[in-house]
Amino acid sequence: MDKIYNFCAGPAMLPEAVMKQAQAEFCNWQGLGVSVMEVSHRGKEYIAMAAEAEQDLRDLLNIPDNYKVLFCQGGGRGQFAAAPLNLLGDKKSISFITTGQWSKGAVAEGEKHAQASVFDALSGNEQGQISVKPSAEWQLDKDAAYVHYCPNETIEGIAIDEIPDVGDMVLVGDFSSTILSQPIDVSKFGLIYAGAQKNIGPSGLAIAIVRDDLLDNAHPLTPNIFNYSLLAGSDSMFNTPPTYSWYLAGLVFKWLKQQGGLTAMAEKNAAKAELLYSYIDSSDFYQNNVAPENRSKMNVPFQLANSELDAAFLAESAAAGLVTLKGHRIVGGMRASIYNAMPIEGVQALVDFMADFAQRNR
């Protein structure tokens, strides 16, 4: 094999250019003779890098000035707890929209801290495919502190591309698997959070983008490490942050700017998804059971018509340099995660392999 293409859902592949730069700087960062992992997070060099990374993220997402950007520990699951601990205030409930395993995971954590009002937004179309009810049909708890949803379910490959209209309610989005893949109108949200290991950088880091007026609502028993107000007041350095993950995220942000920003990335991601879905839909050997309007551009699950061939497909695809294609145990089959760092050449290589495998195994 000449090239390895990593379709892992997370931790996911990073841009090759970013990896090479990190490799070149690994032992001698900024001419200091030491690694960025070895310098103080309170030193002037690291603080400057961290501030630059935050500004690059603000530029990419066009984040308004009345939002704080927090570099947090604990990943996306940590934010499942941090969101209610910080945003409940004097409210008693949270309005959850569920579309898959990750939005259900937020419910399981959130109901430890508040009453959970849950609306299952999944539906089906006339073709028997999974779809999502439009937000106008969502049943919301109007007295809730906020509405929580997940715009991209990594496991099931279900996406909500529209920003839900929840009126005057606070909207919270778990963007762990779709952030930075396309522009977002941040001003529509009270809180956006994302685990890093899909489109931001390595695992161990989470980003929280929170509106200023929602700060200072934290429950008195909120651990300091999860307290948004405290983190905002200390520039996300209340304690030692995940320094190397922050540094790598900063390199990814610069790489995204070099690619033309999020509008350009959205076009590239749409082209990759169209290439793969079009082939699946044209074949009777493979299938995807998500309605076209709710198909994820980041995670493409698919099944073979004959599941007895799954093991052979995985073994042969790996031998061809197409790795980590096994679907999540909940849904089975295959899953190709095609985040920002996956080039269209990788998707084309996958489609070519799928066509050849189908021809040989009919």
Tokens representing 319 are 């031998």
Answer yes or no: 198 catalytic: yes
Query: 319: which residues sit within 8 A by CB, 6+ positions away?
Result: 1
Answer yes or no: 91 catalytic: no
Q: Which of 68, 198, 268, 326 is catalytic?
A: 198
Q: How far apart, in whole angstroms, are the C-alpha atoms of residue 164 and residue 146?
A: 13
Answer yes or no: 90 catalytic: no
Residue 41, Cα to own-chain centre: how many angstroms? Answer: 26
Q: Which of 138, 174, 255, 297 is catalytic?
A: 174
Q: Which of 56, 68, 102, 272 is catalytic?
A: 102
Q: Which residues are catalytic?
A: 102, 174, 198
